[in-house]
Amino acid sequence: MTSEVSVVLNALHARLTATNQTVSVAESCTGGLLGAALTELPGSSCYFLGGVQAYANEVKEGLLGVSHETLVSFGAVSGEVASEMARGIQRLTGSDWAISTTGVAGPDGGSGEKPVGTVWISVVGFDGVSSQKLTLDGGRANVRQGSVRGALSMLLEHLSVGDSTL
């Protein structure tokens, strides 16, 4: 784990613990790395409720409730699908916050429109849903780690809105 991720994790841990808020994850391109990062610190069971690794579209639809029409219209790697994934895991777990990741980690699977390194992250919580597109360089491991870093940072931003202590 990089020092940058450690700093973000420590801040998330402190904020979630202090406010008794919970989080869950729906992961595609990160394949469990995001949940693993959120459970890195002792005491994470106070705020981490669980997650789903939804690599296949059938799992995105059947378990997370992603609309088939959304998948057909926008593709699995899209802000629309990421938003529906985050809403789905929040609905399943009852968490205060939910994060989703979907993207093309590579080395295959990219296209002209969505090349390797294209990642969408969504965070859903008290302030609604927000999605962000990342374009990451490097190989598969770098794309997956960059996705985790981006997702954690995005959650921290949402948690920090209106909080001058972070």
Instruction: For the chain of 166 residues, list the mean pLDDT of each consecutive stretch of 10.
Output: 88 96 97 97 97 97 98 98 98 98 93 93 95 96 96 95 54
pLDDT at residue 133 in the model: 98
pLDDT at 110: 86
For 96, the token pair is 């205060």
- In this predicted structure, what is the pLDDT of residue 163? 59
Does residue 127 fall inside a structural domain? yes
**In 30-139, where does DSSP find H-type helix?**
33-38, 57-62, 68-74, 79-93
Counted residue by residue, the chain has a size of 166
Q: Which CATH number do you get for residue 69?
A: 3.90.950.20
Tell whether 165 is covered by a domain.
no
Domain extent, residue 96, equals 3-160
The total number of structural domains that make up the chain: 1
Strands (E), the chain: 23-27, 48-53, 97-103, 118-125, 128-135
Query: Does 110 map to a domain?
Result: yes
Distance linking the first and last C-alpha atoms of the chain:
21
Residue 166 domain flag: no
The pLDDT value recorded for residue 146 is 96
pLDDT of residue 164: 46
pLDDT recorded at residue 16 = 97
Find residue 115's DSSP bridge partners: none
